[in-house]
């Protein structure tokens, strides 16, 4: 559309220039005074005629027939002026369209900047709200930690003090009045001591769980195989136990906390396979995708997979106290430690066919 418009303007300019260069034949004497007509040429023609009037009229007629004599430099200047005028018009039109386009783009940019400023203001308000919420959550966590610490202090001192008194007086009765006590009294005192000891173990496990909730994980690189060997030195294995420890390399974790996990899993394997004729325990490792996978496998009593979700709950037991000792807090503690490392823990088993406990740690 613009090209056709500019082409028409150029055509009009060319037609105007041609019209100026080619005047009408009957212009005659009117052009004698025009700048297109050369006065010197007319005077020369008149002088040729001399004083003879007839000859002068013939010369004038010849001039009229031949047309006016054009001044070439002036025509060239006029043509150049016309071309320059057309070019100037084209440039003005182009710059006008360019300015119009730039104004439109500037308007779009201004709208985008205004929209971005609005979005930034909203983001700033959202960040301020998030920071306020974070501070509130931090304060709530700090308050919860303070309450946990107060609870731990209370459990450590206020609850354990009566237990120590119960155990102490029970021991005094057995030592100083043992001959005077009948069998039922002796049995009752033994039950009191056993339950008070169990209560003390439960309190210890509860305090351990509380401590893990606020404990920071201090990771370092160490050899997992050596850690397992150290844990096995403190375990009491039956003489006929078949133990197989597969090679394990280095890992990046908290060795102190991982020692507690291995101690819980290995002691469980020893405990729940102790009633089999030949206990078999396997400790292994493999690497899958982005995880280190470790496991402890035994051929003990196992458990029903239906209840596997209860294994890692605090003080949850799948076997009776008379069958196997323990508080049921070891696996819950192990789960807390593994999750603090960004890993996971799970178990697979069948009744009377043993169990395998797995836990994973991130590669990095």
Res 202: pLDDT: 75
**Chain CA centroid to CA 114, Å:** 27
* pLDDT grade for 5, boundaries at 50, 70 and 90: low
By CB atoms closer than 10 A (0-12, 13-18, 19+), residue 3 is exposed
Residue 260 CA to residue 124 CA, distance in Å, equals 46
Output the CA torsion sign for 89, 95, 100, 103. Answer: negative
| pLDDT (average), residues 52-62 | 53
| pLDDT (average), residues 26-53 | 44
Res 287: pLDDT: 93
Which region among 153-162, 180-189, 252-261 has the lowest average model confidence (pLDDT)? 153-162
The partner residues of 250 in beta bridges, in order of sequence, read 223
Q: How far is CA 93 from CA 7, 90, 102, 312, in A?
A: 12, 5, 14, 82
Length of the chain: 364
Q: Collect all residues with Cβ–Cβ distance below 8 Å to 5 and sequence separation of at least 6.
A: 93
Write the class of the CATH domain 220-362.
Answer: alpha beta
304-318 tens-digit pLDDT: 888 887 888 876 776
| pLDDT (average), residues 197-222 | 78
Q: Give me the residue label for tokens 């404990």.
A: 215
> Which phi and psi (to 5°) does residue 332 adopt?
-65, -40
Higher pLDDT, 169 or 29: 169
Res 98: pLDDT: 85
Higher pLDDT, 116 or 258: 258
Contact 194, 163 (CB under 8 A): no
Res 318: pLDDT: 67
Averaged pLDDT of the chain: 78
User: Does 126 have pLDDT greater than 70?
Assistant: yes
Residue 60 CA to residue 321 CA, distance in Å, equals 147
Which region among 155-159, 192-196, 215-219, 282-286 has the lowest average model confidence (pLDDT)? 155-159
* pLDDT grade for 351, boundaries at 50, 70 and 90: confident
Higher pLDDT, 267 or 92: 267
Q: How far is CA 105 from CA 108, 110, 119, in A?
A: 5, 9, 21
Domain spans of the chain? 2-103, 145-214, 220-362
73-88 tens-digit pLDDT: 666 777 777 777 777 7
pTM surpassing 0.95?
no
* pLDDT grade for 51, boundaries at 50, 70 and 90: very low
> Which phi and psi (to 5°) does residue 301 adopt?
-75, -20
Q: DSSP code of 357?
A: E
Whole-number percent of the chain with pLDDT over 70: 73
* pLDDT grade for 50, boundaries at 50, 70 and 90: very low
| pLDDT (average), residues 329-346 | 90
User: Does 61 have pLDDT greater than 60?
Assistant: no
Residue 216 CA to residue 156 CA, distance in Å, equals 21
CB atoms within 10 A of CB 287: 10
Contact 216, 326 (CB under 8 A): no
User: Does 187 have pLDDT greater than 80?
Assistant: yes
Res 24: pLDDT: 44
130-154 tens-digit pLDDT: 888 888 888 887 777 777 667 666 7
* pLDDT grade for 60, boundaries at 50, 70 and 90: low
Contact 273, 281 (CB under 8 A): yes
User: Does 32 have pLDDT greater than 80?
Assistant: no
Query: For residue 137, what are its two tokens?
Result: 């959550």
């Amino acid at each position: 559309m613009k090209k056709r418009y500019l082409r028409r303007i150029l055509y009009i300019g060319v037609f105007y220039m041609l019209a100026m260069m080619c005047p009408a034949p009957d212009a005659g004497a009117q052009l004698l005074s025009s700048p297109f007509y050369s006065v010197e040429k007319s005077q020369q023609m008149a002088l040729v005629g001399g004083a003879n009037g007839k000859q002068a009229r013939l010369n004038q007629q010849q001039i009229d027939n031949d047309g006016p004599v054009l001044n070439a430099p002036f025509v060239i200047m006029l043509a150049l002026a016309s071309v320059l005028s057309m070019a100037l018009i084209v440039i003005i039109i182009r710059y006008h369209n360019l300015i119009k386009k730039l104004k439109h783009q500037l308007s779009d940019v201004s709208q985008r900047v205004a929209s971005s400023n609005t979005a930034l203001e909203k983001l700033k308000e959202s960040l301020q709200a998030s920071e306020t919420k974070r501070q509130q959550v931090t304060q709530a966590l700090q308050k919860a930690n303070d309450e946990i610490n107060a609870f731990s202090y209370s459990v450590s001192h206020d609850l354990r003090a009566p237990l120590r008194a119960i155990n102490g007086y029970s021991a005094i009765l057995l030592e100083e009045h043992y001959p005077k006590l009948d069998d039922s009294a002796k049995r009752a005192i033994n039950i009191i001591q056993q339950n008070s000891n169990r209560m003390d173990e439960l309190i210890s496990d509860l305090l351990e769980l509380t401590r893990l909730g606020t404990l920071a994980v201090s990771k370092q690189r160490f050899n997992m195989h050596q850690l397992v060997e150290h844990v096995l030195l403190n375990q009491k294995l039956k003489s006929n136990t078949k133990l197989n420890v597969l090679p394990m390399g280095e890992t990046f974790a908290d060795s102190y906390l991982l020692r507690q996990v291995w101690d819980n899993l290995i002691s469980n394997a020893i405990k729940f396979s102790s009633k089999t004729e030949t206990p078999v325990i396997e400790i292994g490792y493999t690497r899958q995708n982005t995880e280190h996978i470790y496991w402890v496998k035994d051929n003990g009593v196992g458990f029903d997979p239906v209840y596997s979700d209860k294994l890692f709950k605090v003080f949850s037991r799948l076997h009776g106290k008379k069958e196997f000792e323990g508080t049921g807090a070891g696996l819950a503690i192990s789960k807390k430690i593994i999750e603090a490392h960004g890993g996971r823990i799970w178990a697979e088993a069948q009744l009377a066919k043993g169990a395998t406990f797995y836990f994973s740690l991130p590669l990095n």
